[in-house]
Amino acid sequence: MNSSLERYTERVEQYASRFPRFPRFVDVTMVLALIGCAFFGTHLSLPGVNRPDTGKSLEVLLGLSCFVLLKYRTHTRTVVVVVAGVTIAAIARGYLLTPMLLAPLLAAMYWLAVLCDRRTVRLYALVATVALLTVNLFSDGMRDLSPVLTVVGPVFWMALPLVGGSLTRLRGDYLEAVKSRAEHAERTREEEARLRVTEERMRIARELHDVVAHHLALANAQAGTAAHLSRSNPEQSRKILDDLTGTTSAALRELKATLGLLRQDDRPEGEGLEPAPGLARLPELIDSYRSAGLKVVVHQEGVRRPLTPGVDLTAYRIVQEALTNVAKHAPERATRVGFTYADSRLLITVSNDGPATVTAVNGTSGGFGLRGMRERAQSIGGDLCAGPRPEGGFEVTTALPLQASAAVEGESP
Tell me what pLDDT residue 358 has.
44
Tell me what pLDDT residue 275 has.
60
H runs (alpha helix) in 116-146 = 118-137
Amino acid occupying residue 162: L
Amino acid occupying residue 382: G
What is the maximum alpha-carbon separation in the chain? 137
Tell me what pLDDT residue 368 has.
64
Segment-wise mean pLDDT, segments of 10 residues, the chain, 413 residues: 53 56 75 84 68 69 85 88 88 82 90 90 90 79 64 85 88 85 82 79 72 70 73 75 72 68 52 67 84 83 86 88 80 84 89 59 50 83 87 87 61 48
- Prediction pTM value: 0.46
Tell me what pLDDT residue 361 has.
33
Strand order of the β-sheet with 383-388 is 295-301, 334-342, 345-352, 394-401, 383-388
Nearest to 31 by CA among 125, 108, 121: 108
Rounded to 10 deg, the angle between the 147-229 and 118-137 helix axes is 170
CB 46 within 8 A of CB 98: no
